[in-house]
Amino acid sequence: MKGKDFLTLADLSEEQLVLLLKEAAELKQKQKQGIPHEYLKGKTLGMIFEKSSTRTRLSFEVGMQQLGGHGIFLSSKDLQLGRGESISDTAKVLSRYVDGIMIRTFAHNKVEELATHATVPVINGLTDDHHPAQVLADLQTIIEYKGRLKGLKVCFVGDGDNNMTHSLIEGAALSGMNISIASPKGYQPNESIVKKALKIASKNHSAITVTEDPIEAVTNADVVVTDVWASMGDEDERAERLNVFAPYQVNEALCSHADKNFIFLHCLPAHRGEEVTASVIDGRHSVVFDEAENRLHAQKALLRLTMSN
């Protein structure tokens, strides 16, 4: 992966995903044991933020520091990009200053255009369509608790047409997990993304199921996942979405259909009482804070494998 962009999980090979997750686990152990791992000493990551962030900023900025490098926070309000400079010019200029670019933005084609014109690796920190950096941490967390990925059943309940769902579908297909998505009509995953993931899934003998029935999706699931009902950019639809998604709340009644040893994931921030009840996200099956921590280790692996010498 050295010198390569990281825009979606579907762009990876199965071998590259395995390498990333192995590297993440090893870097986590080195940090816990206090073993120095300054693989990016002298390197600089430019971090463009057009969406607010907690875990993305911390994981990449702290990750670069622990790897011996430096991360520079670049708000779109401060960059000339926010005043009309083209993405191509921004990419060319940044490539003269930094060794890698991470961007957290809205339209996915902006990340693609940035990667087209940059001469350094570009990492997708989040777009409206994909959140691959988060799902790397999710997969790492599942391995820690389940010991494997292949053959497990993961389900997502809620808004199917969002970045988390899309990247989770791709991650499941690539790793050989079976995935079921329960979403109301009109909020199901992007068909082109599902179609591309199905081709990957067929090679790994895994299944992708989309349904409107949350009980069907959750039944016998090893991993239950949800996300907020109104993502950044959907705030004006909040009232409508609260009504539409009410039957898709992840609560104890729904989770009673999952495997008795299921784990619960949420990328955070969470709205307790909306997409998930407090009894689930704060209960014994929840591993959301291990998941949040693994953003750091997964992102360090990603940074090392894209930016190191």
Mark out the alpha helices in the chain (DSSP H runs): 14-32, 55-66, 87-97, 108-117, 132-146, 163-175, 191-203, 214-218, 238-244, 252-255, 278-281, 288-307
Residue of 66, 134, 188, 299 marked catalytic: 134
State the Cα–Cα distance between residues 85 and 119, nearest whole angstrom: 18
Q: Is 266 annotated as a binding residue?
A: no
65 is catalytic: no
Q: Which amino acid is at 88?
A: S
Q: Which amino acid is at 217?
A: A
Q: Is 89 annotated as a binding residue?
A: no
Residue of 108, 128, 227, 297 marked catalytic: 227
State the Cα–Cα distance between residues 66 and 185, nearest whole angstrom: 45
Q: Is 219 annotated as a binding residue?
A: no
Q: Is 59 annotated as a binding residue?
A: no
Residue 193 DSSP SS3: helix
Q: Is 119 annotated as a binding residue?
A: no
State the Cα–Cα distance between residues 279 and 129, nearest whole angstrom: 30
Q: Is 249 annotated as a binding residue?
A: no
Residue of 108, 130, 266, 295 marked catalytic: 295
Residue of 104, 108, 297, 304 marked catalytic: 104
131 is catalytic: yes
83 is catalytic: no
Residue of 267, 297, 299, 304 marked catalytic: 267
Q: Is 55 annotated as a binding residue?
A: yes
Q: Please, are residues 91 and 36 in contact by the beta-carbon 8 Å criterion? A: no
Q: Is 268 annotated as a binding residue?
A: yes
Measured in whole angstroms, how far is the alpha carbon of residue 231 from the centre of its chain?
14
295 is catalytic: yes
117 is catalytic: no
Residue among 188, 194, 159, 165 nearest 276 (CA): 159
User: Which tokens hold the place of 124?
Assistant: 């997708």
Residue of 131, 241, 266, 304 marked catalytic: 131
104 is catalytic: yes
Q: Is 54 annotated as a binding residue?
A: yes
Q: Is 104 annotated as a binding residue?
A: yes
Q: Is 295 annotated as a binding residue?
A: yes
Q: Is 90 annotated as a binding residue?
A: no
Residue list for the binding site for carbamoyl phosphate: 53-56, 80, 104, 131-134, 267-268, 295
Residue list for the binding site for L-ornithine: 163, 227, 231-232
Residue list for the binding site: 53-56, 80, 104, 131-134, 163, 227, 231-232, 267-268, 295
Residues with a catalytic annotation lie at 104, 131, 134, 227, 267, 295
